[in-house]
Chains A and B, each alone.
Chain A
Amino acid sequence: MQTTEQKQNNHKRTFNTAEYNFAFLDEGSKREIRRKSLKAVAIPGYQVAFASREMPIGRGWGTGGLQLTLSLLGRQDTLKVIDQGNDDSVNAVSIRRLVEETSGILTTEETAQASIIQSRHRIPEEKLKFDQILVLQVPQPEPLRKVERREERTRIQHAEMDYSAMWLTLYESIVKWGSITLGADYPVMVHERYIMAPSPIPRWDTEKLHQSHHLTLFGAGREKKIYAIPPYTNVQPLEFEDYPFEVESFDGLSCRHCGSMDSFLDEVVDDEAGITIHQCSDTAYCRQQQERIG
Chain B
Amino acid sequence: MSMNSADLINNAEKEWVWNETPLLKVRGLSKQFGAGCIHCKQPTSDEQEGSRCQYCGSIWACRNLSFDLYPGEILGVVGESGSGKSTLVKCLYFDEETTVGEMSISSYEDKTSNLFEKSAQQKRYIRNHVMGMVYQNPLLGLRMPISSSGNIAEKLFAADHYHVGSIRQRAADLLQKVEIPLARMDEPPKNFSGGMQQRVQISKALANNPPLLLLDEVTTGLDLSVQAKVLDLIRNIQRELRVAMIVVSHDLGVIRMLADRTMVLRQGLIVEQGLTDQILEDPRHPYTQLLVHSLL
**Residues of A with Cβ closer than 8 Å to B?**
156, 159-165, 167-168, 171-172, 174-175, 240-243
CB of A65 to closest CB in B, whole Å: 31
8 A/B residue pairs, CB under 8 Å, sorted by A: A156-B120, A167-B162, A171-B153, A171-B167, A172-B150, A175-B150, A240-B164, A243-B164
Chain B residues numbered 261-296 whose CB sits less than 8 Å from any CB in chain A: none
List the A side residues contacting B238 at CB < 8 Å: none
**Residues of B with Cβ closer than 8 Å to A?**
3, 120-121, 124, 143, 146-147, 149-150, 153-155, 157-158, 162-165, 167, 186
Q: Which of A162, A163, A171, A242 contacts B150 (CB 8 A)?
A: A171
Looking at A156, A171, A175, the one whose CB has the most chain B CB atoms below 10 A away is: A171
Inter-chain contact A240/B162, CB cutoff 8 Å: yes
Inter-chain contact A174/B164, CB cutoff 8 Å: yes
Chain A, Cβ-Cβ closest to B151: A168
Inter-chain contact B165/A168, CB cutoff 8 Å: no
A175 and B149 alpha carbons, distance in the complex (Å): 9
Inter-chain contact A161/B121, CB cutoff 8 Å: yes
A163 and B149 alpha carbons, distance in the complex (Å): 17
Which secondary structure dominates where chain A touches chain B? Answer: helix
Chain B, Cβ-Cβ closest to A166: B157
A243 and B164 alpha carbons, distance in the complex (Å): 8
CB of B245 to closest CB in A, whole Å: 24
List the B side residues contacting A167 at CB < 8 Å: 153-154, 157, 162
List the A side residues contacting B158 at CB < 8 Å: 162, 164
CB of A143 to closest CB in B, whole Å: 15
Q: Which of B154, B164, B186 contacts A164 (CB 8 A)?
A: B154
List the B side residues contacting A163 at CB < 8 Å: 157
CB of B91 to closest CB in A, whole Å: 19
Inter-chain contact B120/A168, CB cutoff 8 Å: no
List the B side residues contacting A162 at CB < 8 Å: 124, 158
CB of A160 to closest CB in B, whole Å: 5
List the B side residues contacting A159 at CB < 8 Å: 120-121
Inter-chain contact A172/B147, CB cutoff 8 Å: yes
List the A side residues contacting B147 at CB < 8 Å: 172, 175
Additional A-B contact list (19), CB under 8 Å, known A160-B120, A160-B121, A171-B167? A159-B120, A161-B121, A162-B124, A164-B154, A167-B154, A167-B157, A168-B143, A168-B146, A168-B150, A168-B154, A168-B157, A171-B153, A171-B164, A172-B146, A172-B147, A172-B150, A241-B162, A241-B164, A242-B163
List the A side residues contacting B149 at CB < 8 Å: 175
A163 and B153 alpha carbons, distance in the complex (Å): 12
List the B side residues contacting A160 at CB < 8 Å: 120-121, 124
List the B side residues contacting A161 at CB < 8 Å: 121
Inter-chain contact A242/B120, CB cutoff 8 Å: no
List the B side residues contacting A175 at CB < 8 Å: 147, 149-150, 186
The 10 residue pairs across chains A and B that have the minimum distance between CB atoms? A164-B157, A167-B157, A241-B163, A164-B158, A160-B121, A240-B164, A164-B154, A168-B154, A242-B165, A171-B153
Chain A, Cβ-Cβ closest to B5: A241
Q: Given A167-B162, A175-B149, check contact A241 B154 (CB 8 Å).
A: no
A108 and B167 alpha carbons, distance in the complex (Å): 51
A156 and B186 alpha carbons, distance in the complex (Å): 29
Q: Given A171-B164, A171-B167, check contact A165 B120 (CB 8 Å).
A: no
A172 and B152 alpha carbons, distance in the complex (Å): 12
CB of B163 to closest CB in A, whole Å: 4
A243 and B163 alpha carbons, distance in the complex (Å): 8
Looking at B150, B163, B167, the one whose CB has the most chain A CB atoms below 10 A away is: B150
List the A side residues contacting B143 at CB < 8 Å: 168
